[in-house]
């Protein structure tokens, strides 16, 4: 049953649930109303029986009927209430034009003086249900008391209750039908935004068109879902655009070293085929150029692999507590090998951060390489680490202010640096690594010339008692 219900369309399930809820509510109200009306009618009947006394004429007539011998009674209702006298032995005397009612033990108890009164159900001799009230009553003001039973048929209550039951059943049926129709209408109107969202999703899945947007008016759940879908498609479109730009930029950057490499190799191959030897100096220059281009390709491919990793992949790497001063010292040692003619001044205070050691070292190496690349021979590179703020300052030509907003973009290179080796991805890797470690990085013109790279990472002067991962 549950599986069949789940297979129904959402609109049908909502309508069915609404109709079921209304049916249960209407049924509960109808049952409660019927029970309350029945109790009210029974209370009114009991009150009327208690407040009605048998006429003295009826009592006298009943006594005469008992004295005259065989009793003659009618079988149909002839009066407002049936009256009869109950004897201590359970006998009864029925007045004329009244229907005899069967005597019960409660009536006999009243006749014997064991009870003051009795209110109970009974039946007539012909099986008609009645409500009976038996109490003692004087025949004459000065005469003896006798047990008198006054009865009223229950048919009048049953008839009213049956009519009420039919009326409530009809109203319940109409209510359920109306609730079903209203449920369908509400489901259709309420699910229109969901239908639009479904159509949009199907359109995106079919055409891969990420420019689709859904109206998101209001603050309800559907509007929030629409805004979330719009944000998701916008993020996917932006991601696809970035991927397209990355591929295009990578192709452009790869083309230059590949072209130069192919040209140099073609010269070497042509020399071998034609037998025309290349002068030793030129041959060495060609081989050195081939080696340099291959190194540039390897570096570019490594940078692309680093940037192609999604953020989730970085989050899945092993993080640990590392000494920023130690990683900086390691990167500084590699920079000294690449710029032996430069002077490096370092001032590194202990600072421990939570990061991926390999990625952090690669980022700092990129910063040091840029300082070495743009520093003139004999210049000084200053490296300072204080309270989690690492500053690497060179004395090169500097970066114009209008170019500073673009330095962390992928493949962006300053016009003055296009002749220098590099892929334009180094600072992008630095920015990404620092952000994933919870820090910030910026480039700013240094006082007196040159450029300062400032990296600030959260951490502490001393490592925690236990390393976190």
- Return the DSSP state at 279: P
Which stretch of 73-87, 190-204, 273-287, 434-448 has the lowest confidence by average pLDDT? Answer: 73-87
Question: What are the boundaries of each domain within the chain?
Answer: 70-152, 221-308, 315-460
Fold of 221-308: Helix Hairpins (1.10.287)
Residue 8 binned pLDDT confidence (cut-offs 50, 70, 90): low
- pLDDT, tens digit, for every residue of 85-109? 888 888 888 877 788 889 999 989 9
- Span 440-461, mean pLDDT? 90
Q: H helices of 309-353, where?
A: 311-315, 324-338
Please say if the pLDDT value at position 304 is more than 80.
no
Using CA atoms, how far residue 348 sits from 343, 352, 430, 446, in Å, is 16, 12, 19, 19
- Span 305-320, mean pLDDT? 58
Is the model more confident about 378 or about 19? Answer: 378
Using CA atoms, how far residue 396 sits from 132, 381, 400, 417, 452, in Å, is 118, 9, 12, 12, 10
- What are the backbone dihedrals phi and psi of residue 117, each rounded to the nearest 5 degrees, phi first? -160, 165
User: Which CATH number is 70-152 given?
Assistant: 3.30.450
Mean pLDDT, all residues of the chain: 79
If 0-12 CB within 10 Å is exposed, 13-18 middle and 19+ buried, where does residue 416 land? Answer: middle
- Return the DSSP state at 220: S
Count Cα atoms within 13 angstroms, Cβ side, for 280.
0
Dihedral, 179, 184, 185, 189 alpha carbons, nearest 10? 140
Using CA atoms, how far residue 308 sits from 16, 233, 235, in Å, is 50, 21, 17
Three-state DSSP class for residue 451: strand
Which stretch of 239-243, 277-281, 440-444 has the lowest confidence by average pLDDT? Answer: 239-243
Name, in order, each residue with C-beta under 8 angstroms of 139's C-beta and a sequence gap of 6 or more. Answer: 56, 59, 60, 63, 145, 146
Cα torsion 352, 356, 357, 363: sign: negative
Burial 16-35, CB ≥16 within 10 A → b, else e: bebbeebbeebeeebeeebe
Q: H helices of 345-465, where?
A: 357-374, 426-436
Residue 314 binned pLDDT confidence (cut-offs 50, 70, 90): very low
- Span 313-326, mean pLDDT? 73
| Whether the domain at 221-308 and the domain at 315-460 fall into the same CATH topology | no
The pLDDT value given to residue 428: 79
Residue 206 binned pLDDT confidence (cut-offs 50, 70, 90): confident
Fold of 315-460: Heat Shock Protein 90 (3.30.565)
Please say if the pLDDT value at position 313 is more than 50.
no
């Amino acid at each position: 049953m549950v599986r069949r219900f789940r297979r129904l369309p959402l609109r049908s399930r909502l309508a069915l649930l609404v109709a079921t809820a209304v049916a249960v509510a209407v049924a509960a109200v109808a049952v409660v109303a019927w029970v309350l009306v029945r109790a009210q009618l029974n209370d009114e009947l009991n009150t009327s029986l208690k407040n009605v006394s048998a006429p003295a004429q009826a009592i006298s007539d009943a006594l005469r009927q008992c004295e005259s011998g065989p009793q003659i009674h009618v079988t149909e209702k002839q009066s407002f209430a049936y009256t009869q006298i109950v004897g201590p032995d359970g006998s009864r005397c029925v007045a004329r034009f009244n229907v005899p009612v069967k005597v019960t033990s409660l009536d006999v108890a009243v006749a014997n003086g064991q009870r003051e009164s009795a209110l109970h159900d009974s039946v007539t001799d012909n099986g008609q249900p009645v409500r009976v009230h038996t109490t003692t009553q004087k025949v004459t003001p000065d005469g003896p008391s006798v047990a008198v039973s006054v009865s009223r048929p229950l048919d009048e209550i049953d008839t009213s209750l049956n009519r009420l039951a039919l009326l409530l059943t009809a109203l319940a049926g109409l209510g359920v039908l109306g609730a079903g129709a209203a449920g369908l209408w509400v489901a259709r109107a309420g699910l229109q935004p969901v239908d639009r969202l479904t159509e949009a999703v199907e359109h995106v899945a079919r055409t891969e068109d990420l420019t689709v947007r859904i109206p998101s008016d209001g603050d309800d759940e559907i509007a929030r879902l629409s805004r979330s879908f719009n944000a998701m498609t916008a993020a996917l479109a932006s991601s696809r655009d970035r991927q397209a730009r990355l591929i295009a930029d990578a192709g452009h950057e790869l083309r230059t070293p590949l072209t130069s490499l192919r040209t140099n190799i073609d010269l070497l191959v042509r020399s071998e085929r034609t037998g025309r030897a290349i002068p030793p100096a030129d041959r060495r220059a060609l081989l050195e150029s081939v080696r340099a281009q291959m190194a540039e390709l390897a570096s570019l491919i490594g940078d692309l692999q680093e940037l192609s990793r999604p953020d989730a992949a970085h989050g899945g790497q092993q993080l640990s507590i590392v000494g920023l001063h130690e990683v900086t010292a390691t990167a500084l040692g590699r920079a000294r090998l690449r710029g032996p003619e430069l002077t490096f001044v370092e001032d590194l205070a202990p600072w421990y951060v939570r990061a991926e050691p390999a990625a952090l070292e690669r980022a700092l190496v990129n910063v040091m390489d840029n300082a070495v690349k743009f520093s003139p021979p004999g210049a000084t590179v200053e490296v300072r680490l204080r309270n989690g703020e690492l500053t690497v300052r060179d004395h090169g030509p500097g970066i114009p202010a209008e170019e500073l907003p673009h330095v962390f973009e992928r493949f962006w290179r300053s016009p003055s640096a296009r002749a220098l080796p590099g892929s334009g991805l180094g600072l992008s890797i630095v920015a990404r690594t620092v952000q994933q470690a919870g820090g910030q990085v910026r480039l700013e013109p240094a006082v007196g010339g040159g450029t300062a790279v400032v990296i600030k990472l959260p951490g502490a002067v001393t490592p925690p008692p236990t390393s976190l991962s």
